[in-house]
């Protein structure tokens, strides 16, 4: 049977107290709904349909690049009504998996197992067992442990409220039967809504097997309704990511002070110090060491490279055996070859630096092609912007610049050239020569420093 995934994402999320729709609230650097879409697409479903509602145009615009179809639920009349909106495009011989846009940590392995438990004459239901199921519908079973129905908290008796098994809302059912059950829904409940949970009792009545699956972890089925829950789920995700990294061999100075907001790929014997944030897609080679308080986004770091404290790396590629920082910044387009040294208060942007080159302090390298074994003296900058356009600079192998030099682009500095300290270079520098571009030092013998006049 083909798998069709329906994601319910129409809720307003009033408790978020935010102008941003609930399903667009950020978790680990991306919207809640994006996490759920990624989980659905990992199942290789034939289609993924998102049912949207409140501020739907904002939701669609934010996720316009996603390979999903969109269906509007103009009136929010309940979860059953929401699923109905997606069913006209679903073939009768398909399997339907229902997910929720505010349940972001659901795991692919759990969903795969849930789908396997459903079939042409069986539906499956994801449940959770918690000490305090307040707010969740209760799973009512018979003496044999078979699921009979789901009772919403507002409709539950005192005895049913003591049940610790709660409904996650996630289920899989054959489309033909699901359409029939949805057509029978009524809103005669405390909420006055057409509730998807009511189809469980219908399935039991129709002698269709209901196969429950208790979620392996509660964290993956937690829904998010306010900023407190958002922070709690974020913390749970951080803890799980940290655990996964340590199991895979990464050494973390403190697992509680790591934030991975994307995908982190790593080699062996990697060390990560405290308060480091990874965003986007980051790759760390073997034996990479990351110092404290770093932010690394969409970057590749080569083997045996050390990133010292308080370094920001964004959209850059760093070779092997490099030393970066502390207090350095690599901006998009920075490409460093092996054994490059970037020291404190150095910024590299849209530039290539050859093997063994060094910029150890107080240097700006922008829009430049830098060769091998180049040494930038302290305070050297490449003046790449004329106020309207950026210009490129070529610095060939073996160049040395003295402290406080300014290289005004576009120029070429030839192989082995030396630029004297304090020079402002505006024309090409010949290879192998010393170039000076500074005023001659003069001493004014009879000069007297001005003195402030006393106020009368």
Give the number of other CB atoms < 10 A from CB of residue 43: 16
* Mean pLDDT score of the chain: 95
Taking 80 as the threshold, does the pLDDT of residue 456 lie above it? no
Cα angle: 331, vertex 336, 340; to 5 degrees: 120
For 104, the token pair is 């972001």
CA–CA separation, 399 and 425 (whole Å): 14
What's the pLDDT band for 18 if we cut at 50, 70, 90? very high
Tens digit of each residue's pLDDT (9 = 90 or more) over 402-436: 999 999 999 999 999 999 999 999 999 999 999 99
CATH of the domain at 18: 3.90.550.10
What pLDDT sits at residue 191?
Answer: 83
Q: What is the pLDDT of residues 82-126, one digit of tens each?
A: 999 999 999 999 999 999 999 999 999 999 999 999 999 999 999
Short-list 331, 335, 312, CA closest to 322: 335
The residue from 193, 221, 249 where one domain ends is 221
Contacts 24+ apart (CB under 8 A), 226-229: 226/15, 226/16, 226/17, 227/16, 227/17, 227/18
User: Bridge partners of 358?
Assistant: 341, 375
Q: How confident is the model at residue 455 (pLDDT cuts 50, 70, 90)?
A: confident
Pair 18, 152 in one domain: yes
Nearest residue to 26 (alpha-carbon basis) of 193, 194, 237, 294? 237
Looking at the structure, do residues 249 and 307 belong to the same domain, yes or no? yes
Q: Answer whether 392's CB lies under 8 Å from 409's CB.
A: yes
- As a whole number of angstroms, the distance between CA 446 and CA 215 comes to 88
- Which tokens is 337 given? 């070859």
Domain presence at residue 182: yes
CB atoms within 10 A of CB 289: 18
- Domain match, 255 and 386 both: yes
- Report residue 381: phi and psi, to 5°: -130, 150
d(CA 370, CA 354): 6
**CA-CA distance, 85 to 98, in Å (whole number)?**
13
Radius of gyration of the chain from its Cα atoms, rounded to whole angstroms: 31
Domain co-membership, 13 together with 119: yes
* Structural domain harbouring 297: 227-435
Long-range contacts of 402-408 (CB under 8 A, 24+ apart): 402/377, 403/377, 403/378, 403/379, 404/377, 404/378, 404/379, 404/380, 405/377, 405/379, 405/380, 405/381, 406/380, 406/381, 407/380, 407/381, 407/382, 407/383, 408/383
Q: Which two tokens stand for residue 244?
A: 């996964």
Residue 189, domain member (yes or no):
yes
Length of the chain: 456
Number of structural domains found in the chain: 2
19-70 pLDDT, tens digit per residue, is 999 999 999 999 999 999 999 999 999 999 999 998 899 999 999 999 999 9
Same domain membership, residue 370 and residue 231:
yes
Mean pLDDT of 281-299: 98
Q: Is 361 an active-site residue?
A: yes
Residue 266: both structure tokens together = 């790593």
Do 170 and 259 lie in a common domain?
A: no
Say yes or no: 341 and 260 in one domain: yes
Domain membership of residue 19 (yes or no) is yes
156 belongs to a structural domain: yes
Which residue in 43, 30, 228, 197 sits closest to 127, CA to CA? 197
At 94, list the tokens.
Answer: 């398909």
Whether residue 328 sits in one domain with residue 431: yes
Cα dihedral sign, 407-408-413-419: negative
Q: What is the CATH number of the domain that holds 406?
A: 2.160.10.10
Q: Is 181 helix (H, G, I), strand (E, B) or coil?
A: helix
Q: Are 398 and 423 in contact (CB under 8 A)?
A: no
**Residues of the chain with pLDDT > 90: what percent?**
92
**Residue 440, domain member (yes or no):** no
Residues 6+ apart with CB under 8 A from 446: none
Q: Using CA of residue 44, residue 49, residue 55, residue 58, what is the dihedral sign? A: positive
Number of Cβ within 10 Å of residue 439's Cβ equals 7
Answer yes or no: are the C-beta atoms of 77 and 187 closer than 8 Å: yes
For residue 374, pLDDT over 90 is answered with yes
pLDDT at 415: 98
Write out pLDDT tens, residues 190-233.
788 999 999 999 999 999 999 999 999 999 999 999 999 999 99
Rounded to whole angstroms, the maximal C-alpha distance in the chain is 109
Structure-block tokens of residue 223: 């829904």
Q: What angle do CA 25, 284, 269 make, to 5 degrees?
A: 120
Q: What is the dihedral of CA 305, 306, 307, 313, to 10 degrees?
A: 0
Give 13's pLDDT tier (boundaries 50, 70, 90).
confident
Q: Give the residue with greater pLDDT, 1 vs 105.
A: 105
146 and 249, same structural domain? no
Q: Which of 35, 266, 341, 361 is catalytic?
A: 361
Provide the whole-model pTM: 0.88
């Amino acid at each position: 049977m083909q798998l069709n995934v329906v994601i319910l994402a129409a809720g307003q999320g009033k408790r978020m107290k935010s102008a941003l729709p609930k399903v667009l609230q950020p978790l680990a650097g991306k919207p809640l709904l994006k996490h759920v879409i990624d989980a659905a697409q990992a199942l290789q479903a034939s289609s993924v349909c998102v049912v949207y509602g409140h501020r739907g145009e904002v939701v669609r615009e934010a996720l316009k690049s996603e390979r999903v179809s969109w269906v509007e639920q103009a009136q929010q009349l309940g979860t059953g009504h929401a699923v109905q909106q997606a069913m006209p495009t679903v073939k009768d011989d398909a399997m339907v998996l229902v997910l929720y846009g505010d349940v972001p940590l659901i795991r692919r392995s759990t969903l795969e197992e849930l789908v396997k438990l459903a079939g042409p004459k069986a539906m499956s239901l994801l449940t959770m067992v918690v000490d305090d199921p307040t707010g969740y519908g209760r799973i009512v079973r018979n003496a044999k442990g078979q699921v009979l129905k789901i009772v919403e908290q507002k409709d539950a008796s005192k005895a049913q409220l003591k049940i610790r098994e709660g409904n996650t809302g996630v289920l899989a059912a054959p489309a033909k039967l699901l359409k029939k059950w949805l057509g029978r829904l009524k809103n005669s409940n405390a909420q006055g809504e057409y509730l998807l949970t009511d189809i469980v009792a219908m399935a039991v009545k129709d002698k269709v097997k209901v196969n429950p699956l208790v979620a392996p972890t509660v964290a993956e089925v937690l829904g998010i309704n306010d900023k407190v829950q958002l922070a709690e789920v974020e913390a749970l995700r951080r803890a799980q990511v940290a655990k996964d990294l340590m199991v895979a061999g990464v050494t973390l100075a403190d697992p509680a002070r790591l934030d991975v907001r994307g995908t982190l790929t790593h080699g062996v014997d990697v060390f990560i110090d405290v308060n480091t944030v990874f965003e986007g897609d980051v790759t760390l080679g073997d034996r990479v060491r990351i110092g404290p308080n770093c932010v690394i986004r969409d970057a590749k770091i080569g083997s045996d490279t050390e990133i010292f404290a308080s370094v920001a790396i964004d959209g850059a590629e760093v070779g092997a055996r490099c030393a970066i920082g502390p207090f350095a910044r690599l901006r998009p387009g920075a490409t460093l070859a092996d054994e490059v040294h970037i020291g404190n208060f150095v910024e590299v942007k849209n530039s290539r630096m050859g093997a063994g080159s060094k910029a150890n302090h107080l240097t700006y390298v922008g829009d430049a092609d830098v060769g091998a074994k180049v040494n930038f003296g302290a305070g050297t900058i490449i003046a790449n912007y004329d106020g309207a356009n950026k210009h490129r600079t070529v610095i060939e192998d073996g160049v040395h610049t003295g402290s406080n030099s300014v290289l005004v682009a576009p120029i070429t500095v030839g192989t082995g050239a030396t630029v004297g300290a304090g020079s402002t270079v505006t024309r090409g520098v010949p290879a192998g020569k010393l170039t000076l571009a500074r005023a001659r030092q003069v001493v004014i013998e009879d000069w007297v420093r001005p003195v402030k006049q006393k106020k009368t």
